[in-house]
Chain A
Amino acid sequence: MSNQPPPEDRPTGPVSGVHPEIDELSAYAAGDLAEDDATRVAGHVAGCAECTGDVAALRAAVADLHALPAVTMPADVADRLADAVRRERAAADAIPAPGAVSSSGGAGRLRRRATPWPGIAAGLAAVALGGAVVAGALSGGADDSADTTAGSAKSEQTAAAATSAAAEDGGPAPAAGSPAPAATAAASPSDTTTTAIRATGTDYHRDTARFTGEVRAALATPPAVDIAEPLSAASPFSAEERTALGELRSGGDAVAAELRPFTQDAKRVAQCVAVLTGGDPVDLVSIDLARFVGRPAAVFVFAGAEPSTYAVYVVRPDCGASETAPDPQLHYEVVTAG
């Protein structure tokens, strides 16, 4: 910024001889200057016809911007957008492991209060389709509270930090094809500070009822090891954790070879969580190194949006790292606690 004061050795006449920089004048015109800078610039402008004209010019430019008519999406563009989203949704429904994943999120710090937000997919479809279904996420706080809660996105924070700041007051809404919980309540009461890692050897099924039972049964199984959070790429498993995980690994064929990296490398686990959550803070309750429809898979259980619910992701052993199967996700389900 150009808020530095003018050099002291400049002669100051009746009108200060030093014109402020144009972007400083713009800041002045917008009321963006700190008080002493504003006073100095005001003092100059008051006696300087040139700068007075410049301030007027800058205000005219801003007025021109404000005078631009609001644009609305043309109907044909909206129709094509709706088609594209519809196709995407059809594809997502047809393939159990939909979509692409940004693996660039890095490892997020894991914290309490997971509220995975499956309802938003339906909400976005509604946005694009202009349909009657408005997900709670969109109608509740999403738009109208935007201007009042914007302060949560603080300046110098990273995007991840900024996005984790405010709890969402709009909840996911049930929608076709989405296993969203009906409403968002307060944060999950889960107060664990650890993530249970277990290897139940369960072969999970796609059928919702069976899957639910399998998840509940697995969660009732004593964990092989509780990993202390926060879990991050920067903090490796502790010696005790490594020992416990080593025993897990040597416990026969419960853990498929492909899944062993999850027991060896905290970074690997943290990265997979980041891929699933986009780096947002989550409450990771449990990881079960198991199978899904016969194939090795890791079952990540997060605290759900509602109390006593879990958001369960079944992921491939490589968590989407391979070129051929860039999506880590084999299955997703919201499960109520038994």
Chain B
Amino acid sequence: MLVRRHRDRAWAVALRTLGDPSEAEDAVQDAFLSAFRKADRFRGDAQFTTWLHRIVVNACLDRMRRRRVRPVAAYDDSALDTVPDPRDALGERETALEVGEALQRLTDDQRLAIVLVDLQGMSVEEAAGVLDVPVGTVKSRCHRGRARLAVHLGHLRPERSSGQSPGTGTRASPGASKE
């Protein structure tokens, strides 16, 4: 049922983005009430799925910002570079994180891009419309996020995702860590 699909899409985005069912519920409720209040005076030009996703994404961003005020800060790139998770260093599948948990180790931006593109199956262009950023930015966030996920999931050596390769090869450029 279409109706059901929209609801589930919103739920999937919020749950995978926030990683916590009760937060996801709050975000979806915020989003739907916000959409409901705005809807009767907003035009239908915006492609509906994009429009609804944007409202859900904004509700999630709100929650993440609030969460970041607390000391349990988001895991950012520098944290990964300097203090690799010991579990990752083992590089063994059985110690690897669950995918849902690993997603939470990404930056908010990377996670949102991956949720929309890899989990929701959006095109990069559509995700760019939802996130209101250039297509190149979505791609960059996806690729950096996937690399970090590969580390957290135990597929990839942690030092590889930080741009410092051990051994013989030389790195192409240290500058690629910009978003």
Residues of A bordering B, CB below 8 Å:
1-2, 4, 6-7, 10, 17-27, 30, 32, 48, 50, 54, 56-58, 60-62, 64-68, 70-74, 77-78, 80-81, 84-85, 88-89, 92, 98-102, 114-118, 120-121, 123-128, 130-131, 134, 137-139, 141-147, 149-156, 158-159, 162-168, 170-172, 178, 184, 276-278, 280-282, 305, 313, 329, 332
Q: How far is the CB of A316 from chain B (nearest CB, A)?
A: 14
B136 adjacent to A1 (CB under 8 Å): yes
CA gap between A118 and B48 in the complex, in Å: 14
A163 adjacent to B50 (CB under 8 Å): yes
B176 within 8 A of A: yes
Nearest to A77 among chain B residues (CB) is B25
CA gap between A22 and B155 in the complex, in Å: 13
Q: How far is the CB of A92 from chain B (nearest CB, A)?
A: 8
Chain B, range 126-167, C-beta contacts under 8 Å to A:
126, 128-130, 132, 134-136, 139-140, 142-144, 146-147, 149-150, 153, 155-156, 160-161, 163, 165, 167
Nearest to A120 among chain B residues (CB) is B39
CA gap between A329 and B43 in the complex, in Å: 16
B43 adjacent to A277 (CB under 8 Å): yes
Chain B, range 27-48, C-beta contacts under 8 Å to A:
28-29, 32-33, 35-48
CA gap between A70 and B15 in the complex, in Å: 11
Interface stretch (choices B1-9, B61-69, B78-86):
B1-9
A84: chain B residues within 8 A (beta carbon): 29, 32-33
Whether A313 touches B41, Cβ cut-off 8 Å, given contacts A23-B143, A68-B119, is yes
B3 adjacent to A156 (CB under 8 Å): no
Q: Which of B5, B39, B50, B147 contacts A23 (CB 8 A)?
A: B147
CA gap between A78 and B5 in the complex, in Å: 12
Residues of B bordering A, CB below 8 Å:
1-8, 10-12, 15-16, 21, 25, 28-29, 32-33, 35-51, 54, 99-100, 114, 118-119, 122-123, 125-126, 128-130, 132, 134-136, 139-140, 142-144, 146-147, 149-150, 153, 155-156, 160-161, 163, 165, 167-173, 175-176
B118: chain A residues within 8 A (beta carbon): 62, 65-66
B163: chain A residues within 8 A (beta carbon): 21-22
A114: chain B residues within 8 A (beta carbon): 43
User: Assuming A26-B146, A73-B8, A128-B36, what are 13 further A-B pairs, CB within 8 angstroms?
Assistant: A1-B136, A6-B172, A23-B140, A72-B8, A116-B42, A124-B36, A130-B7, A142-B49, A150-B125, A156-B135, A159-B132, A163-B46, A280-B43
Residue of A121, A130, A145 with most chain B CB atoms under a 10 A cut-off: A121
B2 adjacent to A276 (CB under 8 Å): no
B42 adjacent to A277 (CB under 8 Å): yes
A155 adjacent to B44 (CB under 8 Å): no
Whether A115 touches B44, Cβ cut-off 8 Å, given contacts A73-B8, A99-B37, A159-B132, is yes
Q: Which of A143, A156, A159, A162 contacts B2 (CB 8 A)?
A: A143
B48 adjacent to A127 (CB under 8 Å): no
Q: Which of B50, B114, B140 contacts A150 (CB 8 A)?
A: B50
Whether A65 touches B36, Cβ cut-off 8 Å, given contacts A58-B146, A150-B123, A281-B45, is no
A138 adjacent to B48 (CB under 8 Å): yes
B41 adjacent to A277 (CB under 8 Å): yes
CA gap between A80 and B15 in the complex, in Å: 16
A305: chain B residues within 8 A (beta carbon): 44
A117 adjacent to B39 (CB under 8 Å): yes
Whether A126 touches B36, Cβ cut-off 8 Å, given contacts A18-B170, A65-B114, A168-B44, is no
